[in-house]
Structure 1
């Protein structure tokens, strides 16, 4: 996950500022920076021999952004593309609250080892507090990502263009820190009220 974040965020930002230092226009520098995540998606499709919904969305967003920016000739159109992903993720998070299991549950099942998956599934079925905590955390993720979208759009439309790429990366780091802290406090509060344990330690003593 962190390797993908580095490729999709840090590398494109470095490419942008490198291109600007080489004398390219803001539009072409943004185009080049957008090629990096597109190439990663294509490589993922080739190696995994399947197209995930996320990969299709990233590739579609890049292509659409390129097309719109060349039609309008406006680099700010490409800057706004950073907000599309957070908007889509926030909407999907909130929409998953109407499913049997929220998206955070599915995301955890993708990264947990097999033994932990069984424990995770058993806890989900057995404890209402865990279901409550996961649904609440999913809602928190959705709301924060939608708020992030608004901030990104505002930055893209109002701030100096050359400043926005690095601020996008800084905003993501801040977003993740806020999510971890808020989610931890919220989930531990729910567990403590239910008298449950986390990692074998009673929540009230953690």
Structure 2
């Protein structure tokens, strides 16, 4: 649905520094003999620093960054109460659960998540084409609702796997598996979105090129 470069572009947009830096720090500290709790806490501080830096740079409170900081505060506080590093491992699961429920909640909005997410990254010309596609083609609207549902359910499934890993697997292997799961989940979602979206539109005599939907007869 997003074109041949969709998977590659989506992976490029991952915040690699914020993903890899906590991982490197955690395993580096563990190699130096630091205990699991302190090593996880140190790694968890990097996303917080990034969120705070973004707040200062933009001089406004972003809902996403505020949510990340709030989630961090809850999980860190819980880890101190329980004294268990596993509470810190649940941070990514909490974020993913919340994201999944938010995506599902957008199904009750005027427009679903996928419509708004794509519109945000488009320039003005593509935004106009995107709006016209939404207004003019009911199958396109139906597809965006369906794909948004798939994203929401996938996030909840991803979170369930993360919770199981955090509670059942050795603490030292979970951070690496968490990051690997992020890549796998995103890859699967983008592939499903692309091929299912293309097939659905074709069945309805349409095609998507960039932000513009057109009848196949015009291709």
TM range, normalised to the smaller chain?
Answer: over 0.9
Asked if 2 retains the 8 angstrom alpha-carbon contact of 1:12 and 1:33, the reply is: yes
Asked if 2 retains the 8 angstrom alpha-carbon contact of 1:156 and 1:164, the reply is: yes
1:104 aligns to what? 114
Find the residue that maps to 1:50 and give its secondary structure.
coil
Asked if 1 retains the 8 angstrom alpha-carbon contact of 2:79 and 2:85, the reply is: yes
Q: Distance in 1 between matches of 2:165 and 2:181?
A: 10
1:173 aligns to what? 183
Tell me which protein shows more helix as a share of its residues.
Answer: 1
Query: Which of 195, 198, 201 is matched with 1:188 structurally?
Result: 198
1:42 aligns to what? 52
Q: 1:16-55 maps to which residues of 2 (within 5 A)?
A: 16-55=26-65
Q: Distance in 2 between matches of 1:51 and 1:19?
A: 32
Query: What is the TM-score when the length of structure 1 is the normalising length?
Result: 0.94
Asked if 2 retains the 8 angstrom alpha-carbon contact of 1:82 and 1:152, the reply is: yes
RMSD after superposition: 1.8
Higher relative contact order (CA 8 A, sep 6+): 2
1:65 aligns to what? 75
Q: Distance in 1 between matches of 2:90 and 2:114?
A: 26
1:83 aligns to what? 93
Q: 1:97 to 1:18 in 2, by over 3 A?
A: same
Runs of 5+ in structure 2 lacking a partner?
Answer: 1-9
* Superposed CA offset, 1:36-94 (max 9, x none): 00000001101111111111111011111111111111000000111011111110111
Asked if 1 retains the 8 angstrom alpha-carbon contact of 2:198 and 2:207, the reply is: no
How far did 1:198 drift?
2.3
Q: Does 1:156 align with 2:160?
A: no
Query: What is the TM-score when the length of structure 2 is the normalising length?
Result: 0.89
Runs of 5+ in structure 1 lacking a partner?
Answer: none
Q: 1:103-142 maps to which residues of 2 (within 5 A)?
A: 103-142=113-152
Q: 1:195-206 maps to which residues of 2 (within 5 A)?
A: 195-199=205-209
Q: Distance in 1 between matches of 2:35 and 2:84?
A: 11
* Pairs aligned (count): 205
Q: Distance in 1 between matches of 2:216 and 2:204?
A: 9
Q: Distance in 1 between matches of 2:104 and 2:59?
A: 30
How far did 1:5 drift?
2.1
